[in-house]
Chains A and B, each alone.
Chain A
Amino acid sequence: MEEEEEEAQALLAGGPHEARSGAPAASRALSAVCDPSRLAHRLLVLLLMCLLGFGSYFCYDNPAALQTQIQRDMQVNTTKFMLLYAWYSWPNVVLCFLGGFLIDRVFGIRWGTIIFTCFVCIGQVVFALGGIFNAFWLMEVGRFVFGIGGESLAVAQNTYAVSWFKGKELNLVFGLQLSMARIVSMVTRLMRPNSKQQVELRVSLSWGGVTCILSLISALALAYLDQRAERILHKEQGKTGEVIKLTDIKDFSLPLWLIFIICVCYYVVVFPFIGLGKVFFIQKFGFSSQEASAINSVVYVISAPMSPLFGFMVDKTGKNIIWVLCAVATTLVSHMMLAFTMWNPWIAMCLLGLSYSLLACALWPMVAYLVPEHQLGTAYGFMQSIQNLGLAIISIIAGIILDTRGYLVLEVFFIGCVSRDALLSVVLLYLVIMPGGGNLNYSTRQREEMKFSHTE
């Protein structure tokens, strides 16, 4: 609080001074940028944080944007192509538990970030080399190394954000980082080779490498600034504060397991579909390559503005299960439209984007209502871990189905996942929660009343 007041005073004081004379204002602005307690300096840090994630987000979707090129030039089938995504997910099945631990106890946030960025960089370089030398196995190795760094880097990024912005602009920062991720995903999908030459594949892959190096530079700069801030402000080094106890898993309740099932079954029908979607839109709907990239990225584009909006809505209304049910049902409808109609796929993909944003806002917070706070880290770690496991396995299965049975069967398989598993789990969850009177489906007012009666 004190800091904030200081800052406010500084800003107020800064205003009139700047109006009076130019030269002192410039030096003042410069000192503000260099002063870790000032907003200007924090904005600089925020910029670096966004750049930190830039590389990994940019490169994650590199294969999808280059699917046709990779499959053409390397002559791999879709099953093998989807391994590029699976190899990213495999290390994260384990690292979701370990990321927080490594940052807190082993490396510290600064070195942790640098090391994870190095992994991202090396991974992308190896991936690009594989592309340049036409060696698919090298690309797979690259994706694995990239995966080791990727998700943990996101944890590190969040930790930095908390340590610099807690009690200040934290929500805005999270929002900005998320939007950054979405926008970057979109840019990757749109930025694809126009020409058919293989040179373009190389250029694209090399651009990925450049963004990763940019991330590495940001990591180094952040480490320096963070250390400097520690020296000047006596600020502690950021920690994730996650405590992971694997033995907690046996205490997880049935509703929590149902949430895990919903999570896995839901995400596997979104991400692997997007990974394979481009060819689908080109072949089934006769889209041009650019159009197909655009529609394939519309899910991310929609979720950038809608996530905060839906988050606000769910916060206000409560009733998370009903929202999850709506999201799952909408996704089901959207996949049915894609599979069985020739209707303009923009409708279906926009629906998918909306439901994806809604689900993310309604599902993840439910865990917090079901698990005591000391187990929260384990529960979220586990959820991410099995989500990655699901993504890895389903990516491979989706590739196999597409190669042997085509898109219609793949879509029907996805519909099966959403409907039989996810929808069924939501309904079961509802039934399980109802008699126990759990607060998952309370409206916000009910939750507040509960809190009020507890405090009384």
Chain B
Amino acid sequence: MYSCGALRRGWGHCAPSPILFFSLLLSAAPFGLLGEETRQVSLEVPTWPDVPQNLLHIRAVGTNSTLHYVWSTLGPPTVVLVATNTPHSVLSINWTRLLSPEPDGGLMILPKDSIQFSSALIFTRLLEFDSATSDAAAKPPGKPYPPYSLAEFSWNNITDSLYPATLSATFQGHPKGDPTGAFANGSLAFRVQAFARSGRPDQPPRLLHTADTCQLEVALVGASPRGNHSLFGIEVATVGQSPDCPMIQEQHSIDDEYAPTVFQLYQLLWGSLPSGFAQWRPVAFSQEKAGRESALSCQAFPLHPTVAHSLPQSPVVQAFFGLQEKYCTFNLTFGASTGPGYWDQHYLSWSMLLGVGLPPVDALSPLILGIMTVALGIPGLMLLGAGLTLILRCKHASEYQSIN
């Protein structure tokens, strides 16, 4: 299905074939990273008096493992993902420590030795570029405006937008200080959804999800852009366990059935598989009704090491991982200087999948297999029939002649 094409800007390595993955997986994968068909998923909002409810704990329990996704808007929006090899691991929060200026050790998954994998993504800044200048003065995406630091946003109470039935919740925020009034009628939302089993959403880009994954949809709605042709982007930081930055891998597929005309799939892999991954298609949408006419391209720039003090700090990350010296960051930008864009309807949405284990792989749909079987089967049979008829006819003819 997938092939590793020429990787742009020299990122990453080619991934081995899925079959190789499976054999590796069966021999060496720790329990926590083995995928499970279904999981018992629970959404929990730990609370503490006088603290805004801005921590969401998604616990996905399987037969041999538990996955923890801790989403928080304490500081910039952050997710800590942890895989353990026991169905009994739990999240422990020391609130006084977490809320202190030195939150190290405020967040723990217990028992500690059950942890097979842990990492985090921090959405640090909302970027804005003037794409009108992208040709002349600056390289695409254009001349940058001062970014919005997401640590300086005020976020809603997460219990207000928690939907246990769909296993989803939405963090919605706007800048605390907004002198220009850009966010007077606008907001930035992080919609998080977990899944108990595999499936596929109805809205493009329709990424295949499994019980091991979580979906994040980032939506910017109603905010006034600072220019007529503003492009937006987002800066993402990650911590990893290895000294090098994780890699972004671009996969080419022949299949665009679920995201029409998008043949690429990007994957951020924390180390060799199976480990944690983030997966997205390079497409964003400029209308609530996501479709071809509102599709924007999405560019991902390579990860690069960044020193900690140049980034807004996330207390949750420091609470779990301890004080970090170095992060790896990358930018995502949405759209191009022409065509549909945020300026059409002041709407932008983009989604990604976050998970642990093997990234889901699309297979040819039954529709395609069905049509191909019928399309090639019938003429094949007919050709066979025609061939047989011919042979028989020739035989008859030769017998007839021989009698003559």
Residues of chain A at the chain B interface (Cβ within 8 Å) = 71-73, 75-78, 196-198, 279-280, 283-284, 286, 339-342, 402-409, 412-413, 415-416, 419-420, 423-424, 427-428, 430-431, 434
Interface residue count for B (Cβ, 8 Å)? 38
- Docked complex Cα distance between A207 and B393 (Å): 61
* Residue B20 CB within 8 A of the other chain: no
A341 pairs with B376, CB closer than 8 A: no
- Docked complex Cα distance between A197 and B134 (Å): 13
* Residue B401 CB within 8 A of the other chain: no
B368 pairs with A412, CB closer than 8 A: yes
- Asked if A427 meets B291 with Cβ closer than 8 Å, knowing A342-B3, A415-B372, A416-B374, the reply is no
Residues of chain B at the chain A interface (Cβ within 8 Å) = 3, 5-6, 252, 254-263, 291-294, 336-340, 344, 367-368, 371-372, 374-376, 378-379, 382-383, 386, 389, 393
- Docked complex Cα distance between A431 and B338 (Å): 55
- Asked if A416 meets B371 with Cβ closer than 8 Å, knowing A423-B379, A427-B386, the reply is yes
* Selected contact of A78 from candidates B292, B337, B379, CB within 8 Å: B292
Enumerate chain A residues within 8 angstroms of B291, measured Cβ to Cβ. Answer: 77, 403
- Asked if A419 meets B376 with Cβ closer than 8 Å, knowing A75-B293, A405-B260, the reply is yes
- Docked complex Cα distance between A296 and B15 (Å): 31
Minimum Cβ distance to chain A for residue B371 (Å): 5
- Docked complex Cα distance between A420 and B261 (Å): 25
- Docked complex Cα distance between A424 and B378 (Å): 8
* Selected contact of B344 from candidates A75, A280, A341, A431, CB within 8 Å: A75
Jot down 29 A-B pairs with beta carbons below 8 A, ordered by A: A72-B338, A73-B339, A75-B293, A77-B293, A196-B336, A197-B338, A279-B261, A283-B262, A284-B263, A286-B5, A339-B254, A340-B254, A341-B254, A342-B3, A402-B292, A403-B292, A406-B260, A407-B256, A407-B260, A407-B261, A407-B263, A415-B375, A416-B375, A420-B378, A420-B379, A423-B379, A424-B382, A428-B382, A434-B393
Enumerate chain A residues within 8 angstroms of B383, measured Cβ to Cβ. Answer: 427
Nearest neighbor of A409 in chain B, beta-carbon distance: B257
A412 pairs with B371, CB closer than 8 A: yes
Interface centre among B5, B261, B344, B372 (most CB of A within 10 A): B261
Interface centre among B344, B371, B376, B379 (most CB of A within 10 A): B379
- Docked complex Cα distance between A47 and B211 (Å): 69
Enumerate chain B residues within 8 angstroms of A434, measured Cβ to Cβ. Answer: 393
4 more contacts with CB within 8 A, not counting A286-B5, A420-B378, are A77-B293, A342-B254, A403-B292, A406-B262
Nearest neighbor of A198 in chain B, beta-carbon distance: B338
Minimum Cβ distance to chain B for residue A317 (Å): 19
Nearest neighbor of A414 in chain B, beta-carbon distance: B375
Nearest neighbor of B6 in chain A, beta-carbon distance: A286
Enumerate chain B residues within 8 angstroms of A280, measured Cβ to Cβ. Answer: 261
B263 pairs with A420, CB closer than 8 A: no
Minimum Cβ distance to chain A for residue B286 (Å): 9
Enumerate chain B residues within 8 angstroms of A76, measured Cβ to Cβ. Answer: 293
Enumerate chain B residues within 8 angstroms of A73, measured Cβ to Cβ. Answer: 338-339
- Docked complex Cα distance between A71 and B296 (Å): 12
B368 pairs with A409, CB closer than 8 A: yes
- Docked complex Cα distance between A403 and B256 (Å): 11
A408 pairs with B368, CB closer than 8 A: yes
Minimum Cβ distance to chain A for residue B99 (Å): 48
Enumerate chain B residues within 8 angstroms of A339, measured Cβ to Cβ. Answer: 254
Enumerate chain A residues within 8 angstroms of B379, measured Cβ to Cβ. Answer: 419-420, 423-424, 427
Interface centre among B5, B255, B260, B382 (most CB of A within 10 A): B260
- Docked complex Cα distance between A431 and B379 (Å): 13
Nearest neighbor of B390 in chain A, beta-carbon distance: A434
Enumerate chain B residues within 8 angstroms of A413, measured Cβ to Cβ. Answer: 371
A427 pairs with B255, CB closer than 8 A: no
- Docked complex Cα distance between A417 and B266 (Å): 33
Nearest neighbor of A69 in chain B, beta-carbon distance: B338
Minimum Cβ distance to chain B for residue A276 (Å): 10
A402 pairs with B260, CB closer than 8 A: yes
Minimum Cβ distance to chain A for residue B71 (Å): 32
- Docked complex Cα distance between A286 and B371 (Å): 27
Nearest neighbor of B393 in chain A, beta-carbon distance: A434
Minimum Cβ distance to chain A for residue B183 (Å): 26
Nearest neighbor of A417 in chain B, beta-carbon distance: B375
Minimum Cβ distance to chain B for residue A78 (Å): 6
- Docked complex Cα distance between A284 and B262 (Å): 8
B256 pairs with A408, CB closer than 8 A: yes
- Docked complex Cα distance between A430 and B383 (Å): 10
Interface centre among A404, A416, A427 (most CB of B within 10 A): A427
Enumerate chain B residues within 8 angstroms of A419, measured Cβ to Cβ. Answer: 375-376, 378-379
A402 pairs with B293, CB closer than 8 A: no
Enumerate chain B residues within 8 angstroms of A415, measured Cβ to Cβ. Answer: 371-372, 375-376
- Docked complex Cα distance between A154 and B373 (Å): 41
B257 pairs with A408, CB closer than 8 A: yes
- Docked complex Cα distance between A197 and B336 (Å): 12
Enumerate chain B residues within 8 angstroms of A424, measured Cβ to Cβ. Answer: 378-379, 382
A430 pairs with B386, CB closer than 8 A: yes
B372 pairs with A412, CB closer than 8 A: yes
Enumerate chain B residues within 8 angstroms of A341, measured Cβ to Cβ. Answer: 254
Interface centre among B291, B292, B376, B382 (most CB of A within 10 A): B292
A75 pairs with B292, CB closer than 8 A: no
Enumerate chain A residues within 8 angstroms of B6, measured Cβ to Cβ. Answer: 286
B258 pairs with A406, CB closer than 8 A: yes
Enumerate chain A residues within 8 angstroms of B374, measured Cβ to Cβ. Answer: 416, 420
Q: Which 5 A-B pairs have the closest CB atoms?
A: A406-B260, A406-B256, A72-B339, A416-B375, A423-B379
